[in-house]
Amino acid sequence: MIGRLNHVAIAVPDLEAASEQYRTALGASVGAPQDEPDHGVTVVFIELPNTKIELLYPLGEESPIQGFLDKNPSGGIHHVCYEVEDILAARDHLVQSGARVLGTGEPKTGAHGKPVLFLHPKDFNGCLVELEQV
């Protein structure tokens, strides 16, 4: 059901410093910051030959990323994102398998302009999983 790894998301306490580190220390292609108000984050995508890294920074006081950074002040891996061909079919299969979909269970538009869903980390070995329809 899942396809390729779309990205690994890392929550960071300083978006500008993290972007610069990837740009200068690692020589990566770093995109511009992009606000995603529906998700409460500002994101920066780093393009790699085989996938992407998504840097996450809180957007607003109610950002779920702020809670993560409160517990992990240095930042850290927040989630992994896998591609799926049909997000509704994937959701229905996962729910039947006992997985919990976060939020309303309905897809939202993600940073790439495509439908996304998040799966409860307790159902996936402590890892928050994002599904993105391709």
CATH number, position 61: 3.10.180.10
Domain with 53, as residue range(s), is 5-133
Cα–Cα distances in angstroms (integers) from residue 71 to residues 17, 19, 39, in the given order: 20, 22, 19
User: In one letter, which amino acid is 9?
Assistant: A
Q: Between β-strands 52-58 and 5-11, what pairing exists: parallel, antiparallel or unpaired?
A: parallel
| pLDDT for 61 | 83
Q: Mean pLDDT in each 10-residue stretch from start to end of the chain (134 residues)?
A: 96 98 97 95 97 97 93 97 98 97 96 96 97 97
| pLDDT for 88 | 98
Q: Between β-strands 76-84 and 128-133, what pairing exists: parallel, antiparallel or unpaired?
A: parallel
Query: What is the count of structural domains for the chain?
Result: 1
The pTM is what? 0.94
Which residues sit opposite 90 in a β-bridge?
none
Which residues are catalytically annotated? 130
